[in-house]
Amino acid sequence: MALACLCCRGQDKRVALTFDDLPFAGRATPQQAPQINQAILSALRKHHAPAIGFVIGERALRLPEITRHAILQEWTGEGFDLGNHTYSHPDLNKITVAEFQRELERGQAVIAPFNPKTRYLRFPYNHAGETKEKHDAIAATLKAAGYQVAPCTIDTTDYEFADVYARALEANDAATAERAKRAYLTYTATEIDYYVGLTTKVFGRDVPQVMLLHASRLNADTIEHILQLLEQRRYRFVTLDEAESDSAYQTPDTFISKFGPMWGYRWATELGIKVDGRAETDPPQWIMAGN
């Protein structure tokens, strides 16, 4: 009986995959965008993993029209979706509510030809308003525009690893690129386990996870391994809609900060659950130092 229950629990574990900074992130170039997106989408299809990509409008417009159309159209295929990541990826701490609204509208204009009913917004840097006044005004703006915030519960600091990896590739330093890749996958495994433990502590049960990734060369080259890490932990890939249908995501949004922590930390604060963020492992120092 105990074994059967463990099996059921394994089947109940769900994760939604999200990719920020479409069509290319970090040090990637417009020329590399087709290969990056093709590699990510190919692996997702192979593993029957739905996903949503969050588009930076200005960055998409850097691509030739035919390339932009091909990439974003592919992201609207079966099992995939597009979300708004604003037009120019500004830090909400540094702009006004009115400026944010224009960013939202301009970003939507780029996505509209491919997905006119985009419902999800991912805040740049996960900054949602550093004061209660701004936070509440932004929430009202999103509600009026028909948007739902895309939370995230698993972070791997992939952009730091991706920067080291990309610079190593640019320098034809295969050894450092491989070292960065291995370190990233090791750290990703650690962070998956940490954040699952965090949300389990907050709610006392398995909660559907939402994993934050970026459309980088590193993730294009490691997505197969990342999906395997999740499968080894018996996760089932689901849409963001399904993940957010869990009651955990209905927790009242009262978290105010100039920072952008994962939702497990936000929920802990909102629900008065004490957690020790010092238990989270940092990326290797050589990665953070950029060499």
> pLDDT grade, residue 10 (50/70/90)?
very low
Average pLDDT, the chain: 94
Over the Cα atoms of the chain, what is R_g? 19
- E strand map for the chain: 14-22, 51-55, 80-84, 120-121, 148-149, 154-155, 209-214, 236-238
What span, in angstroms and rounded, lies between the C-alpha atoms of 217 and 169? 10
What span, in angstroms and rounded, lies between the C-alpha atoms of 247 and 239? 16
Task: Check residue 291 and give its pLDDT.
Answer: 59
| pLDDT of 7 strictly over 50 | no
- Tens of pLDDT, residues 45-67: 999 999 999 999 999 999 999 99
What span, in angstroms and rounded, lies between the C-alpha atoms of 259 and 274? 18
SS3 for 119?
coil
Sign of CA dihedral 141, 143, 146, 152: positive
Angle between helices 174-203 and 263-271 (to 10 degrees): 20
| pLDDT of 1 strictly over 80 | no
SS3 for 38?
helix
Which of 124, 151, 173, 171 has its CA nearest to residue 248? 151
H, E, C per residue of 141-163: HHHHHCCEECCCCEECCHHHHHH
Task: Check residue 183 and give its pLDDT.
Answer: 98
| pLDDT of 4 strictly over 90 | no
- Tens of pLDDT, residues 226-275: 999 999 999 999 999 999 999 999 999 999 999 999 999 999 999 999 99
User: In the numeric block, which tokens belong to residue 255?
Assistant: 């978290």
Query: Which residues 6+ apart lie within 8 Å of 137 measured at CB?
Result: 97, 129
Task: Check residue 8 and give its pLDDT.
Answer: 40
pTM of the model as a whole: 0.95
- Tens of pLDDT, residues 60-105: 999 999 999 999 999 998 889 999 999 999 999 999 999 999 999 9
What span, in angstroms and rounded, lies between the C-alpha atoms of 249 and 243? 8
Domains of the chain with CATH codes: 14-288 (3.20.20.370)
CA angle 15, 258, 136 (to 5 degrees): 80
> pLDDT grade, residue 191 (50/70/90)?
very high
Cis peptide leading into residue 252 (ω within 30°): no
- Are 111 and 72 in contact by the 8 Å Cβ rule? The answer is yes
| pLDDT of 290 strictly over 90 | no
